[in-house]
Structure 1
Amino acid sequence: MVKKFDYDMVVLGSGPAGESAALNAVKHGRSVVVIEAQGTVGGACTHQGTLPSKALRHMVRQAIRFNQTPIFRDIGDARTLTYPRLLSHANEVISRQVDMRSRFYHRNQIRLIHGAGHFVDAHTISVRCADGLDEVITAESVVIATGSRPYQPANIDFSHPRVYDSDSILKMNNTPNKIIVYGAGVIGCEYASIFSGIGMKVELVNSRDRLLEFLDDEISDALSYKLRNTGVMIRHREVYESVELSDKEVVLHLESGKRLHADALLWCNGRSGNTDGLGLEEIGLQTDHRGQLVVNEHYQTAVANIFAAGDVIGWPSLASAAYDQGRSAAASARGKEHCRFVDDVPTGIYTLPEISSVGQTERELTEAKIPYEVGRAFFKDTARGQISGETVGMLKLLFHIDTLEILGIHCFGAEAAEIIHIGQAIMKQQNGGNTLRYFVETTFNYPTMAEAYRIAALNGLNRLGK
């Protein structure tokens, strides 16, 4: 019997979505080949996005804690960090991640090809390998997990040594005195806090009315206050008109007539899907204006045997979601009728301090006319916060007045992205298990940051007179 295809599945990209798709498929007995355009595995998550920026943030946070803790100042001078020194730590993390993820493919006997894949037809991909030779591969199904890259307007010269995007900023070899961050989304806010944390002057330009409008208003306000308190100049409702570049400075011209001067510009205004060059026109697939693919609830594209997951399909564009999307796409590709469509992802924003949330905001509940109440716990009032010195921030619980069902959880402060998962687990409980009373009737370790749930729950019940 002649074998119809070389492989059961081809995965384009080895980021979180591609890796999880490949591992899921091979664990279920499918033959898999992964095609990765970069020289090493991990995708943008490992090399340009999630991990490098979080490694940078960690080192800045450590330096800030050292400088602000009196007992450490008594035994040594204040620590200042240059940006290149921070990058050296990030590169160590990247190296360890690449080694670990490379072993995943070797241990599971997944073939890995470094090269650029191009569709010949829906079941055939031609790969221009790293050695310059072409290899043609056929497969029953394909998962596109090629990720995204920073959006670059045509009228800005990104080859100029003073202009960076969220990829090239990881190669900046100096520490500017002042930097403009254009775009106050998640990436822009994270880098603004990192830069201000090492003493840079930062101008954060936001085209919207407030920072991260998808957040609960109170959390957005807290972030704005914290950034301003560290010296960040936030400019709302501003749109760029042009960028003037010279050997000495960058001048950002805004439509309002303002001119902002700085030593460098970091452009953080959107991302584009990595779909150009895939030959999608050969299989009749189209993308939107940002190069992103449309999929159904099974992560299936308009071509029946081709699936897509991760940043290449747009929202929520998070590594956490991409892992689950890739697994679901692989399940659908092997014919599983039911798969999880990832639409309940917690928000994790690694500013200083960090932010995390799950569920609805106060504005959403008010607009939906859902009767709710609020319970708050301020970290400055917790024993663990006082011990650690992490006193900035709070945990906020939104719950139904009648049923005490938890409707939303919002956290601003140290370890927020960890703390959120306790409440997320309770919100997922069925048959009446999702209730504020869980936090009152459960004993938490003391002192812990998790204890904030008990404090917030009691605060909320007090508002109801219970």
Structure 2
Amino acid sequence: MLSVKRRNDEYDLLVVGGGPGGYVAAIRAAQLGKRVACVEKGRTLGGTCLNVGCIPSKALLESSAKYHECTAALADHGITAEGVSFDLKKMMDRKETIIQTLASGIDFLFKKNRIQRFSGIAHLLDNRMVQITGESDVKVHAGAVLIATGSRAAAIPGVDFDGSRVVSSTEALAFSEVPRRLVVVGAGAIGLELGSVWLRLGAEVTVVESLDRILPAADKDISKQALRLFKKQGFKFVLGAGVEGVEPDGEGCRVTIAGRESLSADKVLLAAGRKPCIDGLGFTELGGRTDRWGFIEVDSCWQTSLPGVYAVGDVIGGAMLAHKASAEGLACVEKLFTGYGHVNYRALPSIVYTHPEVAFVGQTEESLTREGVPIKAGTCSFKANGRALALGDADGLIKVIAHRDTDRLLGVHMIGGQAGDLLAEAVAAMEFAASSEDLARVCHAHPTRSEALQEAARSIEQAAIHQ
């Protein structure tokens, strides 16, 4: 039997975008024996998450937290630290080193899995052919195309980015000096995380949010406690009011807020949302459907309205999380090439890496109540947890929500030190359709913070031991 010779420009899968959705999908497809190419316009792979998002923000959060611990938290442990200072340039250099290390790791994985990387901008000529323009200037044919182009920071009506006074998270991760006054527009994860970095390093931080609460995706009980704790740290909040404009004022600017006094600022960080990156892709010109916000519409298999063209990650909307994009990328190529791929969207974890951390999975009490789902809930404060007290980090609580009749876990919400790590147990439990009784009966090591999760589950049936 004669084998059909494949053209050099022909691939089983072409991935557009080398972020956490795209590069993971490319690697998995290659593992499945497919000939794969990936086109990325950026200098390095990893997308927003690695280069100007998740990773650099966590590096700066860690550095600023260590400085804050030395200046404000060690005294409670009987430790006196004097003359403590920080070197912002070294913090930034450390951040860049981490980015470069991880980016080179993805490069290695592409070479290991024989994935062809193209540098440039992709434009769909049809659902099987893509023009790549830039450092690479070629036409590529593919059996399937996967769009994973991600998202970018969105401006707000009346306020545009200028890269100097009014900035996105990208610029806020690279300030050359600590701003004296920082106004953050948006009280979600990005705004509060970057606000925490600069607050710890000495900035006066004011967060403006159009809603009447912070962290709108979190359970209300967690959001309420977060507001109290962040105010205690020094954050200032203007809630229930929108920013109407930003005007230059000397070397800084003045922020106009609807119905409130204006604010003076050296920098304004817009962190009020993100929009999909589809400009120049050629998707809509070919008849590809998007929703009213510009996100690509897909079916349950991540197939777009164009046959053979798929999309995952931020570009399709939903939870804009790197791990959600990766899960979709894996599931999409596995569905495409093996016939099975699935993402359980009800068990997607979300974490806000402030201190204390905010972490949750599943639905909130408010959303379940709106849907008319009969529920029961239990909580445990970390102030009843021996390990948290020993660490001197006992602010926060865990809330467990279960179905009133079946006892199946419907949501787990927490605020506290290392809450993001504690959440993994709850995510696994929900993935395997566990009940609150299952969590309550698992033996948790003592003394650990995880005991608080067990206590919260026990409290659903008024069986908590330590509270």
TM-score (norm 1): 0.92
Which residue number corresponds to residue 195 of structure 1?
198
Which residue number corresponds to residue 273 of structure 1?
276
Which residue number corresponds to residue 457 of structure 1?
457
**How many angstroms apart in 1 are the aligned matches of 2:343 and 2:443?**
34
Residues 375-386 of structure 1: pairs in structure 2 closer than 5 A: 375-386=378-389
Q: Are 1:11 and 2:12 an aligned pair?
A: no
Look up the equivalent residue of 1:10 and give its one-letter code. Answer: L
**How many angstroms apart in 1 are the aligned matches of 2:458 and 2:156?**
50
Q: Are 1:122 and 2:123 an aligned pair?
A: no
Residues 272-351 of structure 1: pairs in structure 2 closer than 5 A: 272-334=275-337, 336-344=338-346, 345-351=348-354
Of 420, 432, 444, which residue of structure 2 is paired with 1:429?
Answer: 432
Look up the equivalent residue of 1:449 and give its one-letter code. Answer: R
**How many angstroms apart in 1 are the aligned matches of 2:171 and 2:18?**
20
Query: CA shift at 1:61, angstroms?
Result: 2.1
Distance 1:331 1:400, change over 3 A: closer
**How many angstroms apart in 2 are the aligned matches of 1:176 and 1:389?**
30
Look up the equivalent residue of 1:150 and give its one-letter code. Answer: A
Distance 1:156 1:382, change over 3 A: same
Distance 1:73 1:427, change over 3 A: same
Query: CA shift at 1:314, angstroms?
Result: 1.0
Which residue number corresponds to residue 238 of structure 1?
241
Residues 222-261 of structure 1: pairs in structure 2 closer than 5 A: 222-256=225-259, 258-261=261-264
Mapped contact 1:15–1:45 kept (Cα < 8 A): yes
**Could you report, residue by residue, the CA deviation over 1:287-337 in whole angstroms, capped at 9, with x for unpaired residues?**
345432111100010001000011111111101111111112223333x44
**How many angstroms apart in 2 are the aligned matches of 1:203 and 1:456?**
33
Mapped contact 2:409–2:430 kept (Cα < 8 A): yes
Which residue number corresponds to residue 444 of structure 1?
444
Query: CA shift at 1:462, angstroms?
Result: 2.1
Q: Which moved more, 1:371-380 or 1:115-124?
A: 371-380
**Could you report, residue by residue, the CA deviation over 1:100-141 in whole angstroms, capped at 9, with x for unpaired residues?**
1111101111111111111122211111132xx621111111
Query: CA shift at 1:72, angstroms?
Result: 7.2
Look up the equivalent residue of 1:436 and give its one-letter code. Answer: S
Distance 1:73 1:243, change over 3 A: farther
Distance 1:451 1:284, change over 3 A: same
Residues 16-415 of structure 1: pairs in structure 2 closer than 5 A: 16-67=20-71, 68-70=73-75, 74-77=79-82, 79-81=84-86, 83-130=88-135, 134-153=137-156, 155-156=158-159, 158-159=161-162, 161-256=164-259, 258-334=261-337, 336-344=338-346, 345-415=348-418
**Could you report, residue by residue, the CA deviation over 1:267-286 in whole angstroms, capped at 9, with x for unpaired residues?**
11211211101122442224
Q: Which moved more, 1:83-92 or 1:97-106?
A: 83-92
Query: CA shift at 1:402, angstroms?
Result: 4.7
Q: Which moved more, 1:240-249 or 1:25-34?
A: 240-249
**How many angstroms apart in 2 are the aligned matches of 1:29 and 1:463?**
53
**How many angstroms apart in 2 are the aligned matches of 1:446 and 1:175?**
41
Distance 1:153 1:382, change over 3 A: closer
Query: CA shift at 1:146, angstroms?
Result: 0.8
Mapped contact 2:145–2:309 kept (Cα < 8 A): yes
**How many angstroms apart in 1 are the aligned matches of 2:63 and 2:262?**
33
Distance 1:364 1:257, change over 3 A: closer
Give 3-state SS (helix, strand or coil) of 2:123's partner: strand
**How many angstroms apart in 1 are the aligned matches of 2:336 and 2:360?**
32
Q: CA RMSD in A?
A: 2.3
Query: CA shift at 1:368, angstroms?
Result: 4.0
Give 3-state SS (helix, strand or coil) of 1:208's partner: coil
Q: Which moved more, 1:449-458 or 1:304-313?
A: 449-458
Unaligned runs of 5+ in 1: none
Q: Which moved more, 1:400-409 or 1:30-39?
A: 400-409
Unaligned runs of 5+ in 2: none
Q: Which moved more, 1:312-321 or 1:250-259?
A: 250-259
**Could you report, residue by residue, the CA deviation over 1:214-259 in whole angstroms, capped at 9, with x for unpaired residues?**
2111101011111111121111121122210144211011232531
Aligned residues: 459
**How many angstroms apart in 2 are the aligned matches of 1:442 and 1:119?**
52
Look up the equivalent residue of 2:150 and give its one-letter code. Answer: G
Give 3-state SS (helix, strand or coil) of 2:213's partner: coil
Mapped contact 1:298–1:341 kept (Cα < 8 A): no
Look up the equivalent residue of 1:125 and give its one-letter code. Answer: V
Look up the equivalent residue of 1:123 and give its one-letter code. Answer: R
Distance 1:280 1:360, change over 3 A: closer
Look up the equivalent residue of 2:452 and give its one-letter code. Answer: A
Give 3-state SS (helix, strand or coil) of 1:51's partner: helix
Mapped contact 1:374–1:460 kept (Cα < 8 A): yes
**How many angstroms apart in 2 are the aligned matches of 1:212 and 1:221?**
9
Query: CA shift at 1:89, angstroms?
Result: 2.5
Distance 1:144 1:390, change over 3 A: same
Mapped contact 2:70–2:81 kept (Cα < 8 A): no
Look up the equivalent residue of 1:99 and give its one-letter code. Answer: S
Distance 1:288 1:447, change over 3 A: same
**How many angstroms apart in 1 are the aligned matches of 2:413 and 2:437?**
18
TM-score (norm 2): 0.92
Q: Which moved more, 1:59-68 or 1:443-452?
A: 59-68
**How many angstroms apart in 1 are the aligned matches of 2:370 and 2:119?**
50
**How many angstroms apart in 1 are the aligned matches of 2:109 and 2:252?**
45
Look up the equivalent residue of 2:341 and give its one-letter code. Answer: C
